Amino acid sequence: MAEELNAAIAGLTRVGEANFSNRMYERAAAHTHLVPEGMARATRANVAQPGVPVVPVDAARYRPPPHIVKLASEEQLVELAKIMDEVKRINDEHVGELDLAVYGLLNGDPEVVTLQNELVQWVDEFAERRLKKRNPRDDNMPIQRFDRVFKDLSLWLNGLANAGANAVVMGLACKYFPWRVYRDTWGRQVRIARTWDNVHINWGSIETGSRKFCNDWLQGTGWIGVKDLELVCKTVCGDAAGADRADELRPRVRQLAAEILETRPFLVNRVKPERTIVELGTPTGTVWLAWTWAQAHCLGMVWLGRTRRDLEEDLHTGRSRTSVAIGMDGRMAISSMPWITLEDQPALPSPWVTNHKMLAALHPILRGFYDRVDFQGLLARRWHTTPTAAPPETIQADDADEVLAASLELLSRAEPTLRRGMVRAEQLFKVLGELGCELRQGKGSEVVVSRPGRRLFTLGHHGANAEVGWATIRRLLSRVGLTVGEWLEVAHR
């Protein structure tokens, strides 16, 4: 993906709509990606990858360059400074850790999600303000206008996102900004239609000499997939929009996603996507589905193929002809534009029924692998002893999620009424107290967890019987400075 996008940047010098600056594009191709490379690797993580250590980033790089200071409002600059302070803090806290492990740890973290959304909102407002500034040289030249506005922010933003672990927060905004500018410039003239066999682009008034440049952007960024949700809905449920039962299916979809998330530590490094392939009946026949994991912006991806062979070929090459992203709450979205969910395209036929049918088909496959895990043996191997003995002082970072999830699975077996792989909030609070944490009531039903000299962690809580999974506990332990080994030593007494 990064190579394709860099080619798209280089391609700007070859089109004839305007006199572009070759020097600027050479700099762009050499120093930045449209999608930060670390985040691009994270979104493709379905098997074990070593990653690279997170490095500290100089504070000066988090300050916007003078031309952005000139273009943004005073209020926007104040807000940007606050966001960048938080981005830097998150990077500093994980210096020395492997970047892919950090992406996995922070993916779905409520604080990180909030920060991601704040930065996307900021670049959206910056784009709107910048696009209102008229430049006579851009009149009736939407591609040149796109080029100018894109360069104003993306060269700095993407370069910073490629440093350290910044992509975990900044990656989504880096993808969103050029799309936002495209939408309000030459994207207004483009109409896309797609079927299983091809994609048709109506270029409108875009001149022939510029279409290669535009096509490079559409292909390289995935904007050409704007009709993917529509194609998937029509394939799974048919053309006619039936009763969508959104209120009924929304909580079911959320529950399916939560249960799939619990399987992740044991499957992400062991089960190849080809082993998740399942056939799903449709109004016109069948379609084949497969699951791949993601470490950024979403829980995973559902890949679709008209035949099993087509899907296997796509998985082998790593290039999906048709796929949708599945958010942490289970909602499907456009894979290349995860800010566009099924709720943002109201004309879709039966989107919630489609969403639920796909997750319901894949759920038993993933849970079936989960049920075959030897949790007791796994912990014994990690501790090099029995799970009732004290664990070693350290547990490898690559093993931490798996060990913690196995610990919760064994704890949950002691309570028949407890959902597997979970722990009751009451038991969690007891363990945290023994580990020196302080707990106090937050807003509403929230509980705030703290340790001296560490940051606070706010846990959404709904009574002593609430169930908590490994992903939340892992983030909590990291935030308050506790190791998984320390958790095990107390939790399994």
SS3 assignment for the chain: CHHHHHHHHHHHHHCCCCCCCHHHHHHHHHHCCCCCHHHHHHHCCCCCCCCCECCCCCHHHHCCCHHHHHHCCHHHHHHHHHHHHHHHHHHHHCCCCEHHHHHHHHCCCHHHHHHHHHHHHHHHHHHHHHHHCCCHHHCCCHHHHHHHHHHHHHHHHHHHHCCCCCHHHHHHHHHHHHHHHHHCCHHHHCEEEECCCCEEEECCCCCHHHHHHHHHHHHHHCHHHHHHHHHHHHHHHCCCCCCCCHHHHHHHHHHHHHHHHHHHHHHCCCCCHHHHCEEEEECCEEEEEEEEECCCCCCEEEEEECCHHHHHHHHHHCCCCCEEEECCCCCEEECCEEEEEHHHCCCCCCHHHHHHHHHHHHHHHHHHHHHCCCHHHHHHHHHCCCCCCCCCCCCCHHHHHHHHHHHHHHHHHCCCCCCCCCEEHHHHHHHHHHCCCEEEECCCCCEEEECCCCCCEEECCCCCCCEECHHHHHHHHHHHCCCHHHHHHHHCC
- pLDDT at position 276 is 98
User: pLDDT (tens digit, 9 = 90+) per residue, 384-419?
Assistant: 555 555 555 556 666 888 889 999 999 998 888 888
| Interatomic CA distance for residues 377 and 344, integer angstroms | 46
Radius of gyration of the chain (CA): 24
Fold of the domain spanning 375-491? Metal Transport, Frataxin; Chain A (3.30.920)
Cα–Cα distance for residue pair 357/363, rounded to 1 Å: 10
| pLDDT given for residue 139 in this prediction | 81
| β-pair partners for 323 | 303
pLDDT of residue 3: 46
Strand order in the sheet with 457-459: 438-441, 447-450, 457-459
Dist. CA 479–CA 437, nearest whole Å: 12
For residue 386, the model assigns a pLDDT of: 57
In this predicted structure, what is the pLDDT of residue 461?
67
Task: Give Cβ neighbours of residue 108 (< 8 Å, ≥ 6 apart).
Answer: 261, 299, 328, 471
User: What is the reported pLDDT for 285?
Assistant: 92
- Domain boundaries of the chain, sorted by first residue: 2-221, 242-370, 375-491
Q: Which residues of the chain have pLDDT under 50?
A: 1-48
The predicted structure's pLDDT at residue 107: 83
The answer to whether 103 touches 295, Cβ cutoff 8 Å, is yes
User: What pLDDT sits at residue 388?
Assistant: 57
User: In 3D, which of 263, 264, 314, 312 has the Cα closest to residue 45?
Assistant: 264
Q: So what's the pLDDT on residue 489?
A: 87
pLDDT at 134: 84
pLDDT at 147: 92
